[in-house]
Amino acid sequence: MGISGDVPQISPRLLKVFTWYVRRYVRKHLNAVRVSRAGGFPELTAEPVLVYMNHPSWWDPMIGMVIAEEFLGGHSHYAPIDEAQLKRYRFFSRLGFFGVRLGSLSGARTLLTTGGQILLQPGAILWLTPQGGFVDVRERPLSFFPGIGHLAKLIRRGMLLPIGVEYPFWEERHPEALVRFGEPVEAADLFGCNAGESTRLLESRLLATQEALAQESIRRDPTDFDIVLSGRAGVGGVYDLWRRMRAWMHGRSFDPHHGRR
């Protein structure tokens, strides 16, 4: 997809390889990536989408890539990254990342100009974590950086989609990655709103999404979710060795899962 200006040019081949690596890494270190059945995924058109997530963990970009491949294939994905980190890992620009100087006016301008260019393109998706740094899933109220309200005003058509994420430990040694899609904000919903009003509307939609996901996390019921990526199950060590031996002695195949799936 060719876009002029400072928008990165994505390498499909490099993106495919890196996505394969991410999925393999997630499978190795998490029990499963689960998506809430109640938080239905909205029907997408060719219009631009701004996806905004809460930011509890280092895992968020990787889970975002898994979700992008599973639900948002056929779109071009972009996201801001700390300018200093992009200089260290320049290949990220070929994956759709663009550098912003965190906590500065120049960084805010870059986000608005580059993000604005992206959101003018059909089929483009811009990913943001508008809380800035890492924030515990229980922290209230949500506080977004003010730039998201200005950026939201640049969207002429399309939607803004909240996504809630959590990483609880349930029955296995490795944590779950829980994901819930929230009620989208249509671009038309922001007509007549100023930047502050837009920000508060976006905060309220993500907050509702996180609250609903928190209740599902507390219930610990796997049937509330669809598994989009299975990871490494089992408790490990001597405990799993004993379970494996018992299964062998009783002529059963060994299931490493400790709890329900």
Q: Are strands 32-36 and 76-82 parallel, antiparallel or unpaired?
A: unpaired
Does 35 have pLDDT greater than 90? yes
* pLDDT at site 254: 45
**In the CATH hierarchy, which top-level class contains the domain 12-230?**
alpha beta
Among candidate residues 222, 257, 259, 261, the one with its CA nearest the CA of residue 240: 257
- Average of per-residue pLDDT values in the chain: 87
79 neighbors 155 (Cβ within 8 angstroms): no
177 neighbors 30 (Cβ within 8 angstroms): yes
Does 252 have pLDDT greater than 90? no
Helix (H) or strand (E) holding 94: none
CA distances from 34 to 28, 39, 47 (A): 15, 12, 27
pLDDT in tens, 147-165: 898 888 888 788 999 999 9
* pLDDT at site 21: 97
> CA 24, 11, 51 angle in degrees (round to 5)?
70
124: pLDDT confidence band, cut at 50, 70 and 90? very high
* pLDDT at site 243: 46
Backbone angles phi, psi at 163, to 5 degrees: -130, 125
- Bigger pLDDT: 191 or 2? 191
Neighbours of 185 (CB within 10 A): 22
* pLDDT at site 94: 96
Q: Radius of gyration (Cα) for the chain, nearest Å?
A: 20
Cis peptide before 141 (omega within 30 of 0): yes
* pLDDT at site 108: 87
Report pTM.
0.85
CA dist 118 and 140 (Å) reads 31
* pLDDT at site 107: 85
Give 89's contacts (C-beta < 8 A, 6+ positions apart): none
Distance of CA 8 to the CA centre of its chain: 20
Cross-strand pairs, 70: none
Backbone angles phi, psi at 11, to 5 degrees: -95, 110
pLDDT in tens, 92-107: 999 999 999 887 888 8
41 neighbors 163 (Cβ within 8 angstroms): no
196 neighbors 152 (Cβ within 8 angstroms): no
The domain limits of the chain are 12-230, 234-261
CA dist 82 and 99 (Å) reads 6
Among candidate residues 179, 19, 155, the one with its CA nearest the CA of residue 96: 19
